[in-house]
Structure 1
Amino acid sequence: MPLNQAFVGREIVATRPFLVGREHIRQFARAIGDPNPLYHDLEAARTAGYPDLVAPPTFLVAAIPGQLGLPVDDPDFGMDFSLIVHGEQRFTLLRPVVAGDELTAVTTLTGLRTVATNEVLTAGYDFRTTTGEPVATGLCGLVSRGTADPGAGPVRVEAPAATGVAATSVAATPARAAATRYDDVETGTELPARSFPIRRADLVRYAGASGDFNPIHWNEKVAAEVGLPGVIAHGMLTMATAGRVVTDWAGDPGAIREYGVKFSSPVVVPNDDTGAVVEVRATVEKKLPDDRVVVNLTVRCEGAKVLMAAKAKVQLA
């Protein structure tokens, strides 16, 4: 059943604010395997100049209500979430998220198009505090597999462009800079490469921390029924895992200004003691004039590229 094109342009507003808690930050950091003390140790966070624990850059996915803010429970929308896989995700962070923040999230369905038998839905996110302070924006692309109407021909529906949050907005929690000095970095600088194992238990932990319980990430039967090669890792878990290479290099996760990826191939996680291994390499692709750099990430699993156009913008000292 195709998605209802009339929903493009609609805004879905969270019914209640999302209170960022210390234990949730710790739980999310454990789920992505990141021991950075700024996520876990209150004293370390305060010594670094934060008012409380700081959240990993992709933590905002947990602040999106329901299933990525989408009206999946509305039968008129026609979405079967078990057929959904992530196609793209991007965050622009105006300042770090810290424990104690009370956030509101507004989701706008910005577009719907068909690609062969699939439908690609795009959504934008606006995150603010309950006092109206802009915190971040996000962009999400989702693929509804096999739901396009083959007799309808190509479809492309887009909502009018919205005015984004100004990056110059004043934030109560100021933006941060990495310990790495801009003058000490050259284009082509390679960050330390890393390999990260992902096992079935990690999928369970991430489901709980993120709120994404899509059965394709834990149920072999459902994964097979929707045509997947097996249980696959959450795309956002792969994104968060790869991002550790950048936050480890930066030293301060609050220095990440933008982080975006396209999901090109699923990470299939076998039900054994080994699981899957995600290999990440990263290089400084470009130096920008405002003491920022663009880091390009190459992320593979079993030789296949699992992320494309994976880039982070980092503020250096």
Structure 2
Amino acid sequence: MEATFDVAALVGHHYRVDDYYEVGREKIREYARAVQDFHPVHWSEDAADELGYAGLVAPTTFISIPAMLANRKLFESVITGYDVYVQTDQVFEMHKPVVTGDRLVSDVELASVRRVAGNDLLTIKNTFSDQSGEVVQIMHTTVAGITGESVAEGISDAIERVVMHGIEIPSRATGVTADQSNETTQAPAPILSEVTRTRLPHTAIRFEDLTVGDELPPRTTQLTRGDLVNYAGVAGDANPIHWHDSVATLTGLPDVIAHGMLTMGLGAGFVTGWLGDPGALTRYGVRLSSYTVIDARSVGNVEFTGRIKSLDPETKTAVIVIVAKSAGRKVFGLATATVRLA
């Protein structure tokens, strides 16, 4: 069923979040643990210093934490009228490593709306700048807004009974809230940092040692319900489909599923662990095609493999195709990482 409002008319809607998000040393460690990323630069200042970083380096998908906070107003008071949002695509563009002490400010923009298979696909663009005014990362999130017959009756009441206090549940009301003084129809031009593309990468892999078709060492990660609950708390994702059986069933899922962003975080760590220098990753894009089911009585597995798709000798960059599978299903429909090499 189509939404009862013209969401396409909101394309270009933009606001800058009033407050900054300060990147904490222990928060980086918490998040690295949640996505099972044990690269030393996320844990040790000495290891980070050896690679030329001013503090602990945040994992690739860490930026999703301040993005969730920044986007809350968009989903609660601007893009309204949907019953459920389902994440479909995610792109991270890295312009400068995020490190301990960074104060990140987010510009939020509804970048596009497309109608596919009866659902609205909405792309939200988050542009994160640090205290110097330079853009450190740009994140593009695409979600499907679902209404009507695709959603079981009573799901809103079920979510309200189990979700933690202090979390607003999006309503079916339409319209934009009255206080939009810091909102415009056009986002300002960003000042892009060039640090990620100009610093000398300290990768464990040399460009000269790679050929197209080379495969990365495979990695299998395990996930339990405890891992999902931990990630939900660390990342601030309160969606009960990741920890509550009944709510997951009401949304049409076979069981509780892992967060798409958690799976992406595992995939990013798979690449940067091989790479040896997380700050040498310049772009990471994932299209989700399925999900990882986590049964309460067993451990779920996600198997990651990768291969070199292309090499650019002029820039010493490589594009890696990543495959993630769980229980025989492809979790990533299309996933690529662009990396710089020594």
Instruction: Identify, as 1 or 2, the structure richer in helix.
Output: 2
* 1:72 partner SS: helix
The range that moved more, 67-76 or 298-307, is: 67-76
Distance 2:191 2:319 in 1: 20
Which of 195, 203, 209 is the aligned partner of 2:234? 209
Query: For residue 16 of structure 1, what is the amino acid of its counterpart?
Result: D
Structure 2 contact 122–143 (Cα < 8 Å) conserved? yes
Which of 8, 16, 24 is the aligned partner of 1:21? 24
Residue ranges of structure 2 left out of the alignment (5+ in a row): 151-184
Residue aligning to 2:308: 284
Percent identity of paired positions between Structure 1 and Structure 2: 36
Distance 1:179 1:76 in 2: 44
Structure 2 contact 107–187 (Cα < 8 Å) conserved? no
Query: For residue 102 of structure 2, what is the amino acid of its counterpart?
Result: D
Query: For residue 20 of structure 1, what is the amino acid of its counterpart?
Result: V
* 2:77 partner SS: coil
Distance 2:186 2:332 in 1: 27
CA shift in 2, pair 1:24/1:283, >3 Å: same
Shift of 1:173: 11
Residue aligning to 1:104: 105
Structure 2 contact 97–196 (Cα < 8 Å) conserved? no
Query: For residue 55 of structure 1, what is the amino acid of its counterpart?
Result: A
Which of 248, 251, 268 is the aligned partner of 2:293? 268
Residue aligning to 2:81: 78
- Report Cα offsets for 1:46-89 as digits up to 9, x if no partner: 22221110011111101214274552221772244xx2221000
Structure 2 contact 135–190 (Cα < 8 Å) conserved? yes
Distance 1:75 1:166 in 2: 27
- Report Cα offsets for 1:176-202 as digits up to 9, x if no partner: 522321111111111100111111111
Distance 2:236 2:197 in 1: 26
Structure 2 contact 23–101 (Cα < 8 Å) conserved? yes
Distance 1:162 1:311 in 2: 27
Distance 1:32 1:229 in 2: 23
Shift of 1:28: 0.2
Residue aligning to 1:155: none
Shift of 1:227: 1.3
Residue 9 in structure 1 maps to residue 12 in structure 2: yes
The range that moved more, 169-178 or 187-196, is: 169-178
The runs of 4+ residues in structure 1 deviating greater than 6 Å are 160-164
Structure 1 contact 114–148 (Cα < 8 Å) conserved? no
Shift of 1:43: 1.8
* 2:74 partner SS: coil
- Report Cα offsets for 1:134-184 as digits up to 9, x if no partner: 1111111101234599xxxxxxxxxx99787576x3449974522321111
Residue aligning to 2:144: 143
Residue aligning to 2:174: none
Query: For residue 101 of structure 1, what is the amino acid of its counterpart?
Result: D
Taking only aligned residues, the RMSD between alpha carbons, in angstroms, comes to: 2.5
Distance 2:85 2:79 in 1: 17
Aligned positions of 1:39-188 closer than 5 A: 39-66=42-69, 68-69=71-72, 71-74=74-77, 77-80=80-83, 83-147=84-148, 165=190, 169-171=193-195, 175=199, 177=201, 178-188=203-213
Shift of 1:107: 1.3
CA shift in 2, pair 1:16/1:53, >3 Å: same
Residue aligning to 1:305: 330
Shift of 1:245: 1.7
Which of 236, 240, 252 is the aligned partner of 2:261? 236
TM-score in terms of structure 1 length:
0.88
Query: For residue 318 of structure 2, what is the amino acid of its counterpart?
Result: V
Distance 2:239 2:272 in 1: 28
Aligned length: 303
Residue ranges of structure 1 left out of the alignment (5+ in a row): 150-159
Structure 1 contact 137–165 (Cα < 8 Å) conserved? no
* 2:258 partner SS: coil
Shift of 1:13: 1.9
TM-score in terms of structure 2 length:
0.82
Residue aligning to 2:223: 198
CA shift in 2, pair 1:76/1:213, >3 Å: closer
* 2:269 partner SS: helix
CA shift in 2, pair 1:173/1:309, >3 Å: closer
* 1:114 partner SS: strand
Distance 1:179 1:261 in 2: 24
